Structure 1
Amino acid sequence: MTPNARKNAARAYQRRHHVPYTEALRAVTPAGTLGDNDPHRGVPSPDRRLLDALQIADPATHSPKTAWHQHAADRDLTLPIATAIDEPTTAATLHLDAANSVIALLAIPGTGKTAALRTITLALCASYPPERVTFACAGGKWGFLHGITELSHLAVHCFDTWDNRDDVHPDVAKWCAYIDDEIDRRTTTTHAGLEPELVIVVDDLDEFLEPNPAAAATVQRIIDCGPDLGIRLIVSTKQLHPDGDLWTVPAFGPAVRFRPDTVIAFSTFRREESMAALGHPGAWSLQRGQGHAYIRPAAELGDTPAHILTVNSDDAASLSAQIAAYQRK
């Protein structure tokens, strides 16, 4: 039985018998697939572990009503982010608040950072209503928003901005104007604490800024002003250009300088990048394509690699459609 067939069989078993997904997966897994003493026997895949953590039995039929009601009054935005490689039931959570406002993913191509960004975005939308969190997303290519653009949480987004003859791509100008207006408005309002948190997600920040240097000023404003205004920044970049304990992106031209509150480091091009990001060379030796990364700081998992939780593209599209359909009711 293929992994997808086993997953579908487990979901069918779960619906028929009303049992947890882990129990259903164990029931439909043929004997001998894993050794009886294998610690991962019956443990769902990382994408299923994420859905279980979010209490989503089936993305194709899920309603966000319960989760939205449950989390509407949360002080901080919180989501499961990773599990320990050797102990897949031990999970770490990511909190977004004023003290943890800038999250940076450092990764060479093919390591899973785009899937991680999509998962973070979708997981927050599944847990919180648009009145609690909204998004402004950008990147050099569609990547992490593929299949989930109908989410009502998305206030503005811009992608595929390389082929442009103007000084500023129209979509980038719109994206920057929206964010700058939000910063200005939240700076002057007396009710900033009642605003939905605005999460800015930028995939491949270095590639996004290279053809759009004017956007660097807006991104820098997010970094400098965002923590006190309920504005969070989650970015990915392929390379790290350290300047002391600050990151500079990109290396040439108008750039942004920041100190990430949380670093998720997948495989890196150079040993020095891992040292600068984590304080040790561990990320430099990680194999690409396995979804493994170091998280700093990560008290829940210790100083060991973690398996970043993701949701596959089919489940992401199904869940996105369900959330959007519920919002339209």
Structure 2
Amino acid sequence: MKAIRQRAAGEPLEWADAPDPVAGHGEVVIDVVATAVNRADVMQAAGKYPPPPGASEILGLECSGTITALGEGVERFTLGEPVCALLAGGGYAERVAVPATQVLPVPAAIALDEAAALPEAVLTVWTAIRDVPPPSPDGLALVHGGSGGIGTMAILLLRALGWRVATTASARHHDLVRSLGAELAIDYRSEDFVEAVLGATEGRGAEVVLDVIGADYLDRNIDALALDGALTVIAVQGGSKAEVDLRRLMQRRVTLRAMTLRARPIEGRGSKADAVAEVREHVWPLFSTGEIRPVIGATMPLAKAGRAHELMGSADAPGGKILLVR
């Protein structure tokens, strides 16, 4: 088969030959129709985010396509079934093997290629918010990076769950985030998000903050939180090390959480299998009815993945996901 390969980290991405995957016990092989670009892919290509032990070195954390092989013990899926899947790697290829517990049916209202934009973003957001108490009658959630693949999905899911949403985004993406349901769009370059959030909540603050920045925003995120608020860090684009006065957390009764998806175990407590099962039960119906759908900012050929990575890191990066299609 063909796949996107690198001679070494930081080298150009190439469309080259790769070994065909084989379905092991409990696995399926998917003939890939589309995958999507995630920031983790860009970091891995630059040598800054190696795959977990045992994972494919081929980029790609999600895909959609049809099942072409069933491993021993797989009963839930059938040959030829259209699916999408969460991957630890391997999506930038013509075929990929994946545990069946990480595979989801394509929702009825979503096109097969479009479904490639769902697994990583939906599961990341779901695992970040599933344990958060329901919003108060006027509860506000603050989403940082609202125009990205994770941010757009967070806005959609939070709105579907009854939250008011504020988000930080560049000014050129404010129309987009408002169209998704964000009532407050904050230009992170020129506006103080703490001031904006406190103004929108009569000084109470946000009950939930989903953060992709990390260290650079930690103090201000705490300032923006309401009493008993929850801060969940899901990426560290602005650094991974910061100091915090624990007395501030105690006084404001802050819940501080951090999570990652790729390194979760396949099975067992806190596993990808459990998260996928929860998403199928609690979130997938929203996509099946067409109530929400992923935001696709650009679609490019899989063989041009290098150009897609450049686009994602540029000032012209589109809002939503960048799809790579065969």
User: TM (normalized to structure 1)?
Assistant: 0.33
User: TM (normalized to structure 2)?
Assistant: 0.34
More helix by share: 1
More strand by share: 2
